[in-house]
Chains A and B, each alone.
Chain A
Amino acid sequence: MEVLRSQKRTVSNEVVSIPLYLTAPSMEVRLEEFELFAIDRLRVLQGVSDGLARGKNPKEMDDLVDRLWKEHMRHSDVLEMMNKDIISHFVLRLVYCRSDELKKWFLSNETALFRHRFRIKSFEVQRTIAAEFGLSNKVATGAEVESLKEKLGQVIRSMGEKSPNVETIYFKVPFEEVPDLVSGRRVFIQKGYAFVAGSQASLGFHFISKHNFSSVNSSVSLKWTTTIREREKDRLTPIVEALSTSYLGPDYSQSSEYADISLKDIDQVSKSSFPLCMRHLFEKLREDHHLKHGGRMQLGLFLKGVGLKLDDALAFWRAEFTKKVGGERFDKEYAYAIRHNYGKEGKRTDYTPYACQKIISSAPGVGDHHGCPYRHFRICYPSSNTANLIFLLDKQQLLATANILSIRYSFSL
């Protein structure tokens, strides 16, 4: 069993391998560890998710993952750390297998976490991990990598990294095994073989998503709903259900230590403190006196989140929309939705702002201004909007001045 396997290791933290998470540990776990371990891992995953949403480059992500791991997961005893790693992974699997959206979030951030933990390991450790995945015979020899160094570097630069470090480990696989990397020209191909960088995650991705995650996951999920949930009604169930809805940042819904945003300084604050996507929406609204539905939702809930009161929100939207559609039509067609967002209509749900994950995965169409600038401006409209993004960033002075508000708009699950 996997947990036992690690007992032999007495080496320092830095050399520790990454477990394969192939089988759930059959070991006794203390209830408080069950929860604490999971929360620590969740903090790491949220940090990863946040870093990705902020468009950090691979090198910065390496550093971030290293820091997050040391902060939340490190333990002086190697065995303890390995166990914590494995237990927390499986607890979160249990927690996040309960809906497709949660599953997707967990999967993508676990994959990223794996990728960057892998990247910062030494060649020897990477080799060991590859061997554990049964991929030893696919590791390109050091001499081969050395002789292709220039080409491999070219590939990395072609993907937008300015001064790449060619990674230590490359897998040499038949090109047809990595169609997604071939189609994006994200690998160097020679005589039928693709050279896949260790971090290009066929490895990490393979292991979590393809091989076992989805299958184990569905059985875990089934087991949870059919048996454990009832049996553990008083013990585990509350923890699991709380974990999947938990929000680890500061709780803003109650917060009063920051002044709420008011109408008179909203323009000023938008310039100095809004995240890029919100600032873009805000400016488009001021410019066009209109936003399509996706934009109204994204910006509206954000404004609510940073403390704009309902009355002020109505006044704010009305002032703009009146210029375009007239006051009467605004009252008839748009005001309801704003009150709805504030929980004053319909189901009376108190809606929270969209998380970056949701914004990133939205699909803005023609005439839409919502979505994530780091993602949508670049990918959907390659020629014109890269310039647009650069322009926006320039104006924003690159988030360096980001102060309280944009920090406040951190993650909710």
Chain B
Amino acid sequence: MLAGKHFPYTDIHKWLSYGNDGKHPGCDEFYFGRREFSFTLENDAYLRYRSFKNASAMENDIKEKSPYKIDIGAVYSVDPDKRHAYAQSGTNVFAPVERELVFDIDISDYDDVRYCCSGADVCSKCWPLMTVAIKVIDTSLREDFGFKHILWVFSGRRGVHCWVCDAKARSLTNEQRSAVAEYFRVYKGNENNARKVALMGFSLHPFLARSYVDFLKDFFEGELQATQSIFSSKEKYEKILDMISDEDIQSELREKWENSAKPSLSEEATSLKRWEQLKNTLQSKKQKAPALRMCVEEIVFTFTYPRIDLEVSKQMNHLLKAPFCVHPKTGRVCVPIDPNNCDEFDPLAVPTLSQLIEEINSGGVRMEVDDGDDLDKTLLGKSIKFFRSSFLEPLLKSCKEDIESSYKTKIEKSKDSFSW
């Protein structure tokens, strides 16, 4: 199993230690050891609550067990591996105490608004739905919530994961996590219309307004129309007419569209024309029916707003696949995505395990990813370099500053108590 060879143990260890590397007197050297890892083995056996003292213990265990999937869980009050021993002594309660704030978005949740693929499949036509999701959520996490250390990762097949790693994010309670998750929710209703967006009120909340103006509207009218032509056929536009809660307008538009098959127009052009007609019609009727006030926005949100699996974000102890794993079905590596250049990310160009094997066999490129200068030469090099320079280094810098300042405060305090 080669997965064990390319996994960047040292980088993952550095990340999940958050500066607690044993070098500073103020750091918690057992911090990494209280982190839960879980493995899925090839025979589908599932090993939970594994924990490791250091990077090499993690490396040895992974190489020995050859898991095809590695999940990262929470940091617990005690070493998860020894939780039973603690339970017997009865002194420490085994409970999660820290956890990155995570988000999970899957393209398979978009099946009713994409016509190129379905299920776990994804192509260059529907991937932009993920891209716009990254932009909306990343912007809000930074601008609204003030987070800085955010890692976006390709999940290997059909979606993206997001890890918010700021100290404040890691220490949120479940209630606070739920609050953030719910801040992002726009879908209302039950199972049957789980995708129905209901926008109430006389205005969009500033977060939704920004998402709409900066990302969603242009994406809807541009890329989405170009790739999915969402009004081009009766089957497609009926879904949209359904979202207009006024039967007169529905039939007025339906009549227009049913008799307007112009073969001279491309699918995209037809689709765009119908969208303009819909907007104009709604605009002119707005005054009469308050229920239609937000109808245009509701349609845009329904098609383009991020469909986050909110439950994943709400619980501290939810597991999420580690970056740089290899997806068992596609063989693709879960590489980081740069949110500032996410338009350029192509899920189909992500290196696969077999490409990595070939690379080693043919060129004898050494897969020791820690071997700094050789990095760019490997297929994964660019990803690892990005992980280090854009995520890990700034993160560790601020972690060290935090450790230093809280250590100083502690020293000051103890000085005060001596002088008494």
Contact = CB atoms under 8 A, between A and B. Distances in A.
Contacts of A387: 245, 291
Interface stretch (B17-25, B32-40, B194-202): B194-202
B209 interface: yes
B399 interface: no
B205 A154 contact: yes
Contacts of B168: 176, 192
B400 to A, nearest CB: 21
Contacts of B173: 176
A157 B176 contact: no
Given A157-B203, A179-B175, A189-B207, A382 B188 contact: yes
B206 interface: yes
| Most B Cβ at <10 Å: residue of A155, A159, A176 | A176
Contacts, number: 88
Interface string A376-405: 000000110011001000000000000000
Interface stretch (A180-188, A241-249, A272-280): A180-188
A392 to B, nearest CB: 14
B188 A151 contact: no
B143 interface: yes
A176 B167 CA distance: 13
Interface residues of B, number: 34
A390 B290 CA distance: 10
B186 to A, nearest CB: 9
B144 A190 contact: yes
Contacts of A193: 146
Interface residues of A, number: 29
Interface in B156-183: 168, 172-173, 175-176, 178-183
B57 interface: no
A86 to B, nearest CB: 34
Nearest to B142: A191
A33 interface: no
A158 interface: yes
B193 interface: yes
A144 B178 CA distance: 28
Contacts of A182: 179-180, 182-183
B82 to A, nearest CB: 31
Given A182-B180, A387-B245, A191 B143 contact: yes
B143 A190 contact: yes
B18 to A, nearest CB: 19
Contacts of A151: 206
A160 interface: yes
A175 interface: yes
B189 interface: yes
A161 B202 CA distance: 7
Contacts of A190: 143-144, 146
Interface in A132-170: 151, 153-155, 157-162
A314 to B, nearest CB: 39
Given A188-B206, A190-B144, A179 B179 contact: yes
A160 B201 contact: yes
Nearest to A386: B291
B418 interface: no
Contact of B206 (A155, A161, A180): A155
Nearest to B245: A387
B204 interface: yes
A161 B200 CA distance: 10
Contacts of A158: 200-205, 208
Given A189-B145, A191-B146, A160 B202 contact: yes
Contact of B182 (A160, A176, A184, A192): A184
B183 A382 contact: no
Interface in B400-418: none
B193 A383 contact: yes
Given A175-B145, A193-B146, A185 B200 contact: no
Contacts of B209: 154
A176 B188 contact: no
A175 B205 CA distance: 16
Contacts of B203: 153-154, 157-158
Nearest to A181: B179
B183 A383 contact: no
A192 B146 contact: yes
A387 B245 CA distance: 9
Interface in B119-177: 143-147, 168, 172-173, 175-176
A387 B290 CA distance: 10
Contacts of B208: 158, 185
A176 B207 contact: no
Nearest to A151: B206
22 contacts: A153-B203, A154-B203, A154-B206, A154-B209, A157-B201, A158-B200, A159-B200, A159-B201, A160-B202, A161-B202, A175-B179, A176-B173, A180-B179, A183-B181, A189-B183, A190-B143, A191-B143, A191-B145, A192-B146, A192-B147, A383-B193, A387-B245
Q: Which 10 A-B pairs have the closest CB atoms?
A: A192-B146, A179-B179, A183-B182, A157-B203, A191-B146, A183-B179, A182-B179, A158-B201, A157-B202, A158-B205
Given A157-B201, A190-B146, A191-B146, 12 more contacts: A154-B203, A154-B204, A154-B209, A157-B203, A158-B202, A176-B176, A182-B182, A189-B144, A189-B183, A193-B146, A382-B200, A383-B198
